[in-house]
Amino acid sequence: MNRAFSPSNATSAGVRRTQIFTLVAVIVPWLGFVTAAVLAWNNFLSLRDIVLFVIMYLIAGFGVTGGYHRLFTHRSFVCPVWVRFLFGVAGSMAVQGPLFFWVATHRRHHQYSDIAGDPHSPQNHGEGFGAMIRGFYHSHVGWMFRGADAMAVRSLPDLSRDKTARVIHRGFVVWALAGLALPSVVGGLISGTWMGCLTGFLWGGLARVCVAHHATWSVNSVCHLWGGRDFETPDDSRNNPAVAVVSLGEGWHNNHHAYPQSARHGLRWFQLDPTWMLIWSLARVRLASNVQGIRQASAKV
């Protein structure tokens, strides 16, 4: 594997556009979360909102973990076109960027894990507590604002040839907005009130996006700083049980760096991996095949 990093050829206009999008995508869900919390404090929180939050969190969450990550980035399994499409649409609803950006960034993370070229490593920011805080911030969210280097997108020949992937990528804004509209409409219809529509939008939409953002970003930050290591990988990846719970199994990150193509990240009986349970279930009903395990998995991404 080539571990020498070559700089980005991203244009400054493209970088600026991405930075503005990122700023909006980071701040607005956070504001929505705060607003939802304030309303909840004033008794504007119902069981309906909680259910909408959980359902939308699972849909978009599995879209990222099973779809964006294990299916599109690592090709850990194969599935019918319509299932692949739904995985991509669901992943887009998490508002973590268009499919090709997410896949390219993550493949680069695997190629240059914790060395120069890694888009979001918390390592190599100096010595001491201050350096650790700087590294945490950079790996969690700061890297997305770092300009051309952070946005360097390498070519994705496999996805560029894939019509389904192209449709998912180009329709990102539509899918993301649909993920916000869906809980609003359902909340409004079930309650029959505009307030139900608003709280559905806040909990099933913005607050859900906010919490899922930090769950995914914790894989990049927390799981390269704190946790156990079952495998001696060349990077600083860690297995962190708390992150595994909120990220639907992605917190078994040291296992994942050891076997990037494996569809299963929680390798021991107590390492809960809901995304693996979903892929396993799809395979049982013949909606997933060629499921990669740690025997088949290689060091390639």
> Cα–Cα distance between 12 and 2 in angstroms, integer?
27
In angstroms, what is the minimal distance from the CB of 113 to Zn ion?
Answer: 6
User: How many angstroms separate the CA atoms of 233 and 217, rounded?
Assistant: 21
Q: In the complex, what is the shortest distance from the CB of residue 169 to Zn ion, in angstroms, rounded to a whole number?
A: 18
**What is the rounded CA–CA span in Å between residue 160 and residue 279?**
24
Q: Which of 210, 242, 263 is nearest to 94 (CA)?
A: 210
CA distance 20 to 7: 22
- Please give the single-letter amino acid code of residue 22: T
Nearer to Zn ion, 48 or 74 (CB): 74
Site string for Zn ion, 99-128 (x = CB under 5 A): ------------------------------
Q: Which is nearer to Zn ion, 105 or 184 (CB)?
A: 105
Tokens of 80: 């019918």
Helix (H, G, I), strand (E, B) or coil at 139: helix
From the CB of 143, what's the least distance to Zn ion, in Å? 13
CB of 185 to Zn ion, least distance (A): 34
Considering only residues 61 through 90, tell me which ones interact with Zn ion, judged by CB under 5 A.
none
Q: Cα–Cα distance between 202 and 265 in angstroms, integer? A: 32
Q: Is the CB of 237 or the CB of 239 nearer to Zn ion?
A: 237
Residue nearest to Zn ion (CB): 237
Nearer to Zn ion, 243 or 288 (CB): 243
Taking the complex as a whole, how short is the minimal distance between the CB of residue 196 and Zn ion, in angstroms?
38
In the beta sheet, which residues pair with residue 228? 239
- 211-270 residues near Zn ion, rule: CB under 5 A: 237
Residue 280 identity: W
Closer CB to Zn ion, 96 or 237, in the complex: 237
What is the binding site for Zn ion (CB under 5 A)? 237
